[in-house]
Amino acid sequence: MPRKLLKFLIVFDNTSLLYFPGQFLSGKVLMELQDDTPVLGLHFHVVGEGVVRVGSGRHERLYDKENYIDFRMRLLGEPGHGTSVLSPGIHSFPFKLGLPMGLPSTFLGTHGWVQYYCKAALREPNGLTHKNQQVFIVMNPIDLNLEPPVLSQEFECSVEHRVGVGCVGGGAVRCRVALERGAYVPGESVALSAKLVNASRTTIRATRAALTETIQYSAHGKLAAKEVGMRSSMSIQQPKY
């Protein structure tokens, strides 16, 4: 039996697949047919969802989901109107919709994700359904001007740690770390200043500063999991005298 459907694709007008909230998501569903093909309808579905899943399979402990986009439309066919016959060749069915404001950015983590994708389904009268899916990326930039003013102020932290035992090299090591402000956006440089006071007899050979990322996953209103990863670090060797 010859293959009737040669191609079935979802093609976005924006080839980078990157969109911002409020922009239009537009493109077309393309199909190439070898013969006359009766179809019941061409269904199109745009999905945006956030999922938290801790554990997997039988050991899954927590699962939660929220929807950001759930848009459905028919690109071909109407309920109760019977079949349509598509001729051999290439057929194009355009789509366009505005993305809601306030969408969270695309994210993929160990215990969850935020993802956006389109699905197309071509239904034939014989019960056969052809499906395809295409993801797209949403980026919601952070505007620090809309964040609490306290984040634009200088941030500092001090810590004291006692080393040694009593009079045998005992004493305190004090460290003060300061940042120009308390919030940054991706791509910015973080200027860090630190002052270290060693009031002990223990020699400090090196110091290190590290930038870490903490991701928290919530399910059913509770903290479900947390992961901490190091993004960059810098070590400073103390000079020898």
Domain count, the chain: 2
CB of 42 within 8 A of CB of 77? yes
Listed residue (119, 149, 121) closest to 136, CA to CA? 119
Look at residues 138, 164, 180 and tell me which one is the last residue of a structural domain. Answer: 138
pLDDT of residue 239: 59
Bridge-based pairing of strands 129-138 and 18-19 is parallel
For tokens 């359904």, name the residue.
129
Overall size of the chain counted in residues = 241
pLDDT category, 200, cuts 50, 70, 90?
Answer: confident
Q: Same structural domain for residues 153 and 91?
A: no
- Quick check: 200 and 164 in contact, CB under 8 A? yes
In this structure, the answer to whether residues 201 and 185 fall within a common structural domain is yes
Q: Which of 98, 123, 138 is the last residue of a domain?
A: 138
And the tokens for 51?
């999922």
Domain boundary among 138, 169, 196: 138
Amino acid at 206: A
Q: What is the mean pLDDT of the chain?
A: 89
Would you say residue 223 has pLDDT above 80?
Answer: yes
Residue 31 reports pLDDT greater than 70: yes
Q: Average of pLDDT values for 191-195?
A: 88
Q: Do 117 and 58 fall within a single domain? A: yes
pTM, two decimals, is: 0.81
Do both 152 and 192 map to the same domain? yes
The one-character DSSP state at 154 is -
Does 225 lie in the same domain as 162? yes
pLDDT tens by residue, 139-182: 998 888 888 888 888 889 999 988 877 666 678 899 999 999 88
Q: Is the pLDDT of residue 1 over 50?
A: no
CA atoms within 13 A on the CB side of 124: 13
pLDDT the model gives residue 70: 97
What are 55's strand-pairing partners? Answer: none
Of the given ranges (73-82, 106-115, 230-239), which has the lowest mean pLDDT? 230-239
CB 28 within 8 A of CB 94: yes
